[in-house]
Amino acid sequence: MKTITLYGTEICPNCKVAKKFLTDKGIEFEYIVLNTDRLIDNFIRETSQTSVPVLKVNNKYSFGFNKDDYNRLLQED
Query: How many domains, in total, are found in the chain?
Result: 1
Contact 64, 51 (CB under 8 A): yes
The CATH number given to whatever domain includes residue 35 is 3.40.30.10
Q: What is the domain range of residue 40? A: 4-75
What angle, 0 to 180 degrees and rounded to 10, lies between the N-to-C axes of helices 67-75 and 13-24? 40
Per-residue pLDDT reduced to its tens digit, 25-77: 999 999 999 999 999 999 999 889 889 999 999 999 999 999 999 999 999 86
Q: Is the whole model's pTM more than 0.85, yes or no?
A: yes
Distance in angstroms (rounded) separating the CA atoms of residues 76 and 73: 5
